[in-house]
Structure 1
Amino acid sequence: MRRKNHTETTVSRQTRTAPQAASARALIAPASRQAEASGEPPHGPRARMRKILLDAAQQLMGQGITPSVAELAEHAQVSRATAYRYFPSQSALIAAVVDESLGPILAWDSDADDAGARVDELLRFAYPRLEAHEAPLRAAIQVSLEQHAEASAGRAGNEPRLVRGHRVDILKRAIAPLAGALTPAQQERVAQALSLVYGTEVFLVLKDIWRLELPEVTEVARWTAQAIIRQALADAEASTPGKKDKPTKGGKNSDKRGG
């Protein structure tokens, strides 16, 4: 039987009324993909300890520090064994912080039946949260680049590679209405092109180099996204005989960026 960490023991002894318990659950971070895969319950002492560790990691990242699991343990004032039980590697830690940072974006969906409107809605919804959690998202980019450089130099160690790819699923959901107008290969290209204007990497260019603020960053991304969709629809129509004068599904409003 493992010895409980002091924080876990203290929390587990607290008793709450039903409203208090519901309020406490609202503060608990959503389980990451790793937590879900392990079957870890979404609430309870383990979930609360996990949130303590994730909050500590975000504090460090907000200071420009991308912590190892050992550094996280020291900052959170827990044993290394405790930290490693939740995050067996730095990659697992970063992935969990990214999952929590993205939060509602991962569950985003739209009822709009027009791809241009859906993508525009996604960008306006997502970019404020991406900026609010910019530090951990930049940390994920940093770790990914470092791991790629080490692998290219033949120095890859035992650390698991950080897997990134939320935007693939999100963008495919956003452009779903294009299925009636584009081939699967054409839809794939649109999603790939939109990947260049949706994500934290956009901040590296538009904020760091062009010194734009969030509203301007969002506007440039929205404008570029609509241009991508218009071009894809135009290419598809031009390559399909007999469809030049027919309305195109999935992009009837794609020349409008919305307010």
Structure 2
Amino acid sequence: MRLSYHKDAQPPGQGRERQRRRTRAALVTAAKQLFDAGQVPTVPEVADAADVSRATAYRYFPSQQALLSAVMTTDMDSVLLSLDNAPVDPRLRMDALVEADYEMRQADETQLRTWLRLSIEQHREGYADGPVIPRGGRIRAIEQTLDGLQEQMNDETRRRLSVSLSLVIGTESFLVLKDVWGLEGDDAKDIIRWACRALIDSATEPQGSHREEPTRADDSSPV
């Protein structure tokens, strides 16, 4: 017998997939709320907060490590999505990335400080289960932003530029600007944008147009 569906109804397979996405989103949202309250959530705690059975929660996140990684990945995914409507020009795209990344970190500051504490503790105890902070999100965002510069630099220069930009964009620079320099909001974003543009300009300037770096004096040179 062939089953028929109301025009607004979803076939069973699609309905289950939507439910799985909703359940996963509810668990991640609950984890973020616990983070914002200063906790480091476990899978059972998140299940209780999301009103989901613990057995179900463990099917989505078999370990606390998997849960924590999902929270951080979700934040970076939102930053990456913001680049979809960003200008094509790499410098303007970088401005858009700085804006989206800073706003995300400002909104999740308590969570990010907790991440940093966890990372320090894990470094002290060893990385038995892999790094608590998932790697790759910041790199993907930077490399997507630089897509229009392939013809202006070789692969090694592009790699060095990406690595350098990762020192300027992220939790570390956010906290240095706020805690060390007392800069927040537009003042902080202006500094990050300026630094990013300076790095891009340095990497894309024609060879031979930059100033030579001074040579280091050897021991026999006069002081």
Question: In structure 1, how many angstroms separate the alpha carbons of the residues matched to 2:141 and 2:94?
Answer: 10
Match status 1:126 vs 2:126 = no
Question: In structure 1, how many angstroms separate the alpha carbons of the residues matched to 2:21 and 2:62?
Answer: 16
Q: CA RMSD in A?
A: 2.9
Match of 2:217 in 1: none
Match of 1:87 in 2: 61
Match of 1:62 in 2: 36
Q: 141-150 vs 186-195, which deviates more?
A: 141-150
Match of 1:135 in 2: 110
Alignment identity in percent? 38
> What are the equivalent positions in structure 2 for 1:13-24 lying under 5 Å apart?
18=8
The correspondence for 1:210, drawn from 154, 175, 181, is: 181
Match of 1:238 in 2: 208
Question: In structure 2, how many angstroms separate the alpha carbons of the residues matched to 1:142 and 1:42?
Answer: 35
> What are the equivalent positions in structure 2 for 1:177-256 lying under 5 Å apart?
177-234=148-205, 236-238=206-208
The correspondence for 2:144, drawn from 173, 181, 184, is: 173
1:69-113 C-alpha deviation (Å, 9 max, x unpaired): 233234445443232111111221112112322343223246645
Amino acid at match of 2:102: Y
For residue 207 of structure 2, give the secondary structure of its aligned residue in structure 1.
helix
Runs of 4+ residues deviating >4 angstroms: 110-113
In the superposition, relative to structure 1, how do residues 180 and 85 fare at CA in structure 2: closer, same or farther (>3 Å)? same
Q: 112-121 vs 199-208, which deviates more?
A: 112-121
Amino acid at match of 1:204: L
Match status 1:53 vs 2:27 = yes
Amino acid at match of 2:149: L
Contact 1:94 1:136 in 2 (8 A): no
Higher helix content, 1 or 2? 2
Question: In structure 1, how many angstroms separate the alpha carbons of the residues matched to 2:135 and 2:111?
Answer: 13
Normalization by structure 1: what TM-score? 0.66
For residue 237 of structure 1, give the secondary structure of its aligned residue in structure 2.
coil
For residue 119 of structure 1, give the secondary structure of its aligned residue in structure 2.
helix
Contact 1:53 1:83 in 2 (8 A): yes
Aligned residues: 198
Could you tell me which runs of 5 or more consecutive residues in structure 1 were left unpaired when the two chains were aligned.
1-16, 22-40, 241-259
In the superposition, relative to structure 1, how do residues 206 and 42 fare at CA in structure 2: closer, same or farther (>3 Å)? farther
Contact 1:110 1:174 in 2 (8 A): no
Amino acid at match of 1:49: T
